[in-house]
């Protein structure tokens, strides 16, 4: 018999248990094998293969251009690295908005081709039928309300959403609707903390906040933001845990110096 301790994998059920025990859920984005391996080993609960890959990996201005094939590629890389975390894969813009058949077909492709554990979709009442059908097909769905970047051309800006009563009430209704439709969790992005607290206390399923205050049942950050890979992006909600831009720039400049001065490679680095 193996002496190795069995790894307890995080499931959607675990997230519900964490909420009921009042234990916050940790989530971070990942897009490739190497970082996903580090995050999983560090003990993160949920890895989100976010369509923010469009921004941080592909250099696009918005999340709109990323394709289903590109999301599948990123998710395949992440899943290979994971032993414990729950892997949630964003359904990209265009892969679910047109009708429920397309939505179910896209979700099935993500599950079959990536080995991911769940999908995430942006929107409320507009996507509730698709959520129901995807969940009926056996696929766990995470919702996403508030600032939904796939609709950036409708909003026009990335400012805080649902400050006004009408939008806040719609968000509350949408959250209830997504729970009824079968979502196992909901990301709340850039909404007032008090509204996020009301949504979170009114639902059985966990909320995961980004710019939504401390009363959400968990928190998510984009890895490039929290690791300080791009120091120009410093929104109020971001806590930066590392300054990788400075560290990487310094390391690469040192390498360039060593190459130019023939200091590298030394004899003990040669065959
Ligand atoms: O794509 C993404 O990174 C996201 C997070 C901001 C929640 O959806």
Same-domain status, 152 and 204? yes
Same-domain status, 171 and 75? yes
Q: What are phi and psi of 52, to 5 degrees?
A: -60, -10
Same-domain status, 209 and 255? no
Q: Atom 8, ligand 1: which residue's CA is nearest?
A: 50
CB 222 within 8 A of CB 56: yes
Q: Is any ligand 1 atom within 6 A of the Cβ of residue 225?
A: no
Q: Is any ligand 1 atom within 6 A of the Cβ of residue 90?
A: yes
Domain that residue 253 falls in:
243-271
Q: Is any ligand 1 atom within 6 A of the Cβ of residue 168?
A: no
pLDDT of residue 54: 98
**Number of Cβ within a 10 Å radius of residue 240:** 16
Among the listed residues 69, 164, 189, 246, the single catalytic one is 189
Ligand 1 center to residue 60 CA distance, Å? 14
Same-domain status, 178 and 58? yes
pLDDT of residue 1: 47
CA distance 172 to 169: 5
Same-domain status, 151 and 248? no
Same-domain status, 40 and 75? yes
Closest CA to 142 of 69, 67, 205, 211: 205
Q: Quote the number of domains for the chain.
A: 2
Closest CA to 115 of 162, 82, 68: 82
Residue 130, classed as helix, strand or coil, is helix
Residue-by-residue DSSP string for 169-238: HHHHHHHHHHHHHT-SEEEEES--HHHHHHHHHH-SSPEEEESS-TTSSEEEE-HHHHTTS-TT---TT-
Ligand 1 pocket mutation pick from 120, 188, 222 by most atoms within 8 angstroms of CB: 222
Same-domain status, 160 and 268? no
Residue 70, classed as helix, strand or coil, is helix
| pLDDT tens, per residue, the chain with 271 residues | 455 667 799 999 999 999 999 999 999 999 999 999 999 999 999 999 999 999 999 999 999 999 999 999 999 999 999 999 999 999 999 999 999 999 999 999 999 999 999 999 999 999 999 999 999 999 999 999 999 999 999 999 999 999 999 999 999 999 999 999 999 999 999 999 999 999 999 999 999 999 999 999 999 999 999 999 988 999 999 999 999 999 999 999 999 999 999 999 999 999 9
Encoding tokens for residue 213? 């205050």
pLDDT of residue 5: 67
Q: Atom 1, ligand 1: which residue's CA is nearest?
A: 50
Q: Is any ligand 1 atom within 6 A of the Cβ of residue 114?
A: no
Kindly give, in sequence order, each residue whose CB lies less than 8 Å from that of residue 265, ignoring residues fewer than 6 positions away.
none
Ligand 1 pocket mutation pick from 30, 66, 121, 187 by most atoms within 8 angstroms of CB: 187
Same-domain status, 52 and 158? yes
Q: Is any ligand 1 atom within 6 A of the Cβ of residue 122?
A: no
Q: Is any ligand 1 atom within 6 A of the Cβ of residue 222?
A: yes
CB 212 within 8 A of CB 189: yes
Q: Which atom of ligand 1 is nearest to the CA of 149?
A: 8
Closest CA to 118 of 42, 19, 13: 13
Q: Atom 2, ligand 1: which residue's CA is nearest?
A: 50
CB 203 within 8 A of CB 10: no
Same-domain status, 132 and 261? no
Q: Is the pTM of this model over 0.95?
A: yes
Residue 69 bears catalytic tag? no
Ligand 1 center to residue 196 CA distance, Å? 17
Ligand 1 pocket mutation pick from 51, 209, 211, 221 by most atoms within 8 angstroms of CB: 51
Q: Is any ligand 1 atom within 6 A of the Cβ of residue 52?
A: yes
Same-domain status, 212 and 262? no
Same-domain status, 133 and 259? no
pLDDT of residue 6: 72
Question: What is the number of alpha carbons within 13 Å of residue 128 lying toward its C-beta?
Answer: 12
């Amino acid at each position: 018999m193996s002496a190795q301790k069995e790894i307890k994998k995080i499931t959607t059920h675990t997230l519900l248990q964490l909420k009921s025990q009042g234990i916050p859920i940790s989530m971070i984005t990942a897009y490739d094998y190497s970082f996903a391996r580090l995050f999983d080993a560090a003990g993160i609960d949920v890895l989100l293969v976010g369509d923010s890959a469009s921004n941080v990996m592909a250099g696009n201005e918005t999340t709109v251009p990323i394709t289903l094939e590109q999301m599948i590629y990123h998710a395949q890389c992440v899943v290979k690295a994971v032993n414990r975390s729950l892997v949630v894969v964003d359904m990209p813009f265009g892969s679910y908005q047109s009708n429920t058949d397309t939505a179910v077909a896209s979700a099935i492709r993500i599950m079959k081709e990536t080995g991911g554990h769940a999908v995430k979709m942006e929107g409320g009442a507009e996507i509730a039928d698709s959520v129901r059908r995807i969940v009926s097909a056996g696929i766990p769905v995470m919702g996403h309300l508030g600032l939904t970047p796939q609709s950036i051309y409708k909003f026009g800006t990335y400012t805080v959403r649902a400050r006004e009563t009408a939008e806040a009430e719609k968000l509350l209704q949408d959250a209830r609707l997504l729970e009824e439709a079968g979502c196992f969790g909901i990301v709340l992005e850039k909404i007032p903390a008090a509204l996020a607290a009301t949504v979170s206390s009114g639902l059985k399923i966990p909320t995961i906040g980004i710019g939504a205050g401390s009363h959400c049942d968990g928190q998510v950050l984009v890895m490039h933001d929290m690791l300080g890979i791009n120091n120009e992006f410093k929104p109020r909600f971001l806590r930066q845990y590392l300054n990788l831009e400075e560290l990487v720039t310094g390391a690469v400049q040192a390498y360039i110096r060593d190459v130019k001065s023939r200091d590298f490679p030394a004899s003990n680095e040669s065959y």
